[in-house]
Amino acid sequence: EQLANQIAAGEVVERPASVIKELVENAVDAGSSQIDITVEEGGLTLIRVTDNGSGIEAGDIATAFQRHATSKIATSSDLFRIASLGFRGEALPSIAAVSRLSAVSSTETTGLAHRLVIEGGEIKTDEPANAPQGTDMTVRDLFFNTPARLKYMKAIQTELGHISDYIYRIALAHPGIAFTLKHNNNTLLRTLGTGDRLQVIAAVYGTNTAKSMLSIEGENPDYDLRGYISKPELTRANRNGMTVIVNGRYIRSHAVNQAILQAYHTLLPINRFPLVVLELGMHPSLLDVNVHPSKMEVRFSKEAELRALIEQSVKAALGQYRY
């Protein structure tokens, strides 16, 4: 009930980037190998996410837009999935309630598809269509019927910043998926989906940066980690360049960031920060996941051991580099 109220208050769909996050995570969960994101005016006039994933059965599309009706979580035993999915079957109905949304989806390669159009939560069209296998979610005029929310939107560049920041990180988390991000006809990101994370780092941060990354590796009986950290001459002025992935999902973790910086700052000034992409693998039972509508918190049950492993591995990575 509390969650429902928060949704009513418009907290779930906070801004265009939150819509993109939900649509893209659904596309990832559908097993897509290609995900294309198109945005206009910072996402306020248009957000379109197309994927080549499993698709939604014609008879299930309308249900997917009913609150609580469907959630992947109900059938999932993997606790970590809860963290990744955020709103437990709330995302699509919440987005459809505050936009003009068109969903076209097909589970087949025959071209037979289905289209649903919903405006402000009201179904306008529910009909057969033609489309390749996968799903095309088009969200227009976000917050058209919630002017109070619309008023809170910042400049287009600010909204775009939130969107691209999220897409860069989800692309870094899934090097096996080919992503494109376009804004007002400019291509901001194109990854190849080859599985090579350095290629994604090159696409996001530039080829020269990718070339000068040092690799991080480490493991103990509970955790394994691998990734990249920038050479000391490539320091950054803030910590925005730190991306942490846990069991294949992009998360935020203060504890992990602190452990990385602890090691980094034994070598470098405390007002300088690295570019890092670090992937951690562990049994889901070692994760304590707390989900709020607007944020996700992850705790690790053997945090001290994990921090020690991270510090040691980051120091070893930086030690590869000779001044």
Positions in the binding site for Mg ion (CB under 5 A): 26, 85, 91
Residue 28 interaction partner, one of ligand ADP, Mg ion, none, beta carbon < 5-8 Å per kind: none
Q: Which of 44, 91, 177, 318 binds ligand ADP (CB under 6 A)?
A: 91
Smallest separation, CB 151 to Mg ion (Å): 27
Smallest separation, CB 56 to ligand ADP (Å): 5
Residue 53 interaction partner, one of ligand ADP, Mg ion, none, beta carbon < 5-8 Å per kind: ligand ADP
Q: Which of 72, 100, 231, 302 binds ligand ADP (CB under 6 A)?
A: 72
Identify the bridge partners of residue 122 per DSSP, sorted by sequence position. 119
Residue 293 within binding range of ligand ADP, rule CB under 6 A: no
Residue 76 within binding range of ligand ADP, rule CB under 6 A: no
Q: Which of 53, 218, 227, 274 binds ligand ADP (CB under 6 A)?
A: 53
Residue 241 within binding range of ligand ADP, rule CB under 6 A: no
Strands 242-246 and 276-282: parallel
Residue 135 within binding range of ligand ADP, rule CB under 6 A: yes
Residue 164 interaction partner, one of ligand ADP, Mg ion, none, beta carbon < 5-8 Å per kind: none
Stretch that binds ligand ADP, among 49-57, 213-221, 234-242, 253-261 (CB under 6 A): 49-57
CB 319 within 8 A of CB 225: no
Residue 133 within binding range of ligand ADP, rule CB under 6 A: no
Identify the bridge partners of residue 179 per DSSP, sorted by sequence position. 35
Please list, residue by residue across 216-240, b when 16 or more beta carbons sit within 10 angstroms of its beta carbon and e when fewer do: bebeeeebebbbbbbbbebbeeeee
Number of residues that bind ligand ADP (CB under 6 A): 20
Residue 36 within binding range of ligand ADP, rule CB under 6 A: no
CB 35 within 8 A of CB 23: no
Report the alpha-carbon distance of residue 249 to residue 109 in Å, rounded: 29
Residue 72 interaction partner, one of Mg ion, ligand ADP, none, beta carbon < 5-8 Å per kind: ligand ADP
The one-character DSSP state at 273 is B
Phi and psi angles of residue 44, each rounded to the nearest 5 degrees, phi first: -80, -35
Report the alpha-carbon distance of residue 58 to residue 50 in Å, rounded: 17
Report the alpha-carbon distance of residue 246 to residue 45 in Å, rounded: 33
Amino acid in position 30 = A
Helix (H) or strand (E) holding 280: strand 276-282
Residue 184 interaction partner, one of Mg ion, ligand ADP, none, beta carbon < 5-8 Å per kind: none
Stretch that binds ligand ADP, among 85-93, 118-126, 154-162, 267-275 (CB under 6 A): 85-93
Q: Two tokens at 69?
A: 């009706």
Report the alpha-carbon distance of residue 46 to residue 184 in Å, rounded: 10
- For ligand ADP, the closer of residues 54 and 184 by Cβ is 54
Residue 276 within binding range of ligand ADP, rule CB under 6 A: no
Residue 180 within binding range of ligand ADP, rule CB under 6 A: no
Residue 26 within binding range of ligand ADP, rule CB under 6 A: yes
Report the alpha-carbon distance of residue 166 to residue 148 in Å, rounded: 25
Helix residue ranges per DSSP H, 91-155: 91-97, 147-151
